[in-house]
């Protein structure tokens, strides 16, 4: 656990891949260049958010497939893919294909539950079957079985001149161990542990028995590890919004502070019927942020992170933030860049 003096083991970053609807190619190319930069800077992982019907990446597997051909080492993940939009067997085919293309670097993160704005999109997604769709854990279990290579049909063999398999092909044997669940509650943390998944905990969690974000997050991590066969060795990644300003210009610093200030009111109390808590965005020098993280109970419970890049900044801002993360904040947390 990365308390002061103990090293952070893995450093990653997360991006939404924002683009202009009138010129989407530019935004997607920017995302690919950011991932390439992340590899050069020694980051261990790069993660893509999944955004449907928005101006952010809607097809992370396509973008990751492209990134896999422009990188050789950095791990590539999703945080997260909402399974309500997906057919689990078809998604398993895509995951295995991209994992093979990336030489075993894919880390798929998924979530369950109804998609955002379910009542508005259900007719487009499932015009005839919406009321019958299972959107909870059973849908994820179907995906895990398919990824593991369990049979999805009762036929395998030769039919005419074509050969058929009873499992999803291609099969990537190591992929199942790199499946992540994005959870925000003790129930989801426990489920992920019981099913031997890795656990993604982000800057949004449920205020279950407290309004202290860091303490709630630390307890959810403990719940996950208590339920996981690997115990304290089970992998957890934390995804706070972290913006170091060491090499930022005065204009950039002002923009970053204004961004965080505008988002601060939502962190003051639980939001909505599900009582969701939002973490403060951390903005400042790497020394200042390192001190805040070492005092954060949730951060002290993990040894790998995927810090989230802000949604709406420019390419040059992301270059500055990533560079400071890798050269200033990471080392301040005891992390060393990958060779």
Which pLDDT tens digit goes with each residue over 117-167? 999 999 999 999 999 999 999 999 999 999 999 999 999 999 999 999 999
Report the pLDDT value the prediction gives residue 6, as an integer from 0 to 100: 74
Q: Which of 286, 336, 282 is nearest to 41 (CA)?
A: 336
Residue whose entry in the numeric block shows the structure tokens 């993940």: 77
Cβ 298 vs Cβ 221: under 8 Å: yes
CA atoms lying within 13 Å on the CB side of residue 243? 24
Give the pLDDT confidence of 12-28 residue by residue, as tens digits.
999 999 999 999 999 99
pLDDT band at 3, cuts 50/70/90?
Answer: very low
- Specify the pairing of strand 242-244 against strand 304-308: unpaired
- Reply yes or no on whether the pLDDT at 307 is more than 50: yes
Domains assigned to the chain: 10-153+162-332 (3.20.20.30)
Instruction: Assess contact for 204 and 278: CB atoms under 8 A.
Output: yes
Mean pLDDT computed over every residue of the chain: 96
| Distance in angstroms (rounded) separating the CA atoms of residues 299 and 321 | 20
Q: Is 164 exposed, middle or buried (0-12, 13-18, 19+ CB in 10 A)?
A: exposed
**pLDDT value, residue 21:** 97
Query: What is the rounded average pLDDT of the residues 199-227?
Result: 97
Nearest of 52, 61, 55, 128 to residue 95 by alpha carbon = 61
Q: Residue 135 and residue 111: Cα distance in Å, rounded?
A: 10
Question: In this predicted model, what pLDDT tens digit does every residue of 62-95 receive, in sequence order?
Answer: 999 999 999 999 999 999 999 999 999 999 999 9
Residue owning tokens 């990336």: 102
**Model confidence at 5, in pLDDT bands (50, 70, 90)?**
low
pLDDT, tens digit, for every residue of 248-257? Answer: 999 999 999 9
């Amino acid at each position: 656990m990365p308390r002061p003096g103990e090293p952070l083991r893995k450093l990653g970053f997360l991006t939404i891949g924002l683009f202009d609807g009138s010129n989407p190619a530019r935004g997607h190319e920017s995302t690919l260049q950011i991932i390439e930069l992340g590899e050069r800077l020694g980051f261990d992982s790069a993660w893509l958010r999944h955004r449907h019907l928005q101006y952010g990446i809607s097809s992370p597997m396509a973008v990751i497939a492209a990134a896999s051909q422009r990188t050789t080492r950095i791990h590539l993940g999703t945080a997260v893919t909402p399974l309500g939009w997906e057919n689990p067997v078809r998604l398993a085919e895509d995951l295995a294909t991209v994992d093979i293309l990336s030489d075993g670097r894919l880390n798929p993160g998924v979530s369950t539950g109804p998609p955002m704005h379910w009542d508005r999109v259900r007719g487009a997604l499932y015009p005839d079957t919406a009321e019958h769709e299972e959107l909870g854990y059973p849908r994820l279990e179907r995906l895990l079985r398919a990824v593991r290579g369990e049979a999805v049909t009762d036929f395998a063999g030769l039919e005419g001149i074509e050969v058929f398999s009873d499992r999803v092909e291609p099969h990537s044997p190591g992929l199942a161990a790199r499946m992540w669940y994005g959870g925000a509650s003790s129930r989801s943390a426990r489920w992920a542990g019981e099913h031997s998944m890795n656990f993604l905990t982000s800057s949004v969690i449920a205020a279950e028995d407290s309004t202290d974000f860091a303490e709630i997050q630390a307890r959810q991590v403990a719940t996950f590890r208590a339920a996981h066969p690997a115990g304290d060795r089970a992998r957890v990644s934390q995804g706070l919004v972290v913006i170091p300003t060491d090499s930022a210009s005065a204009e950039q610093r002002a923009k970053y502070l204004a961004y965080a200030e505008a988002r601060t009111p939502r962190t003051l109390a639980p939001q909505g019927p599900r009582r969701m808590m939002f973490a403060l965005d951390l903005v400042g020098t790497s020394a200042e942020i390192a001190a805040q993280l070492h005092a954060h109970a949730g951060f002290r419970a993990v040894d790998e992170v995927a810090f989230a890049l802000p949604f709406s900044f420019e390419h040059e801002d992301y270059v500055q933030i990533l560079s400071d993360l890798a050269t200033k904040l990471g080392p301040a947390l005891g992390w060393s860049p990958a060779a």
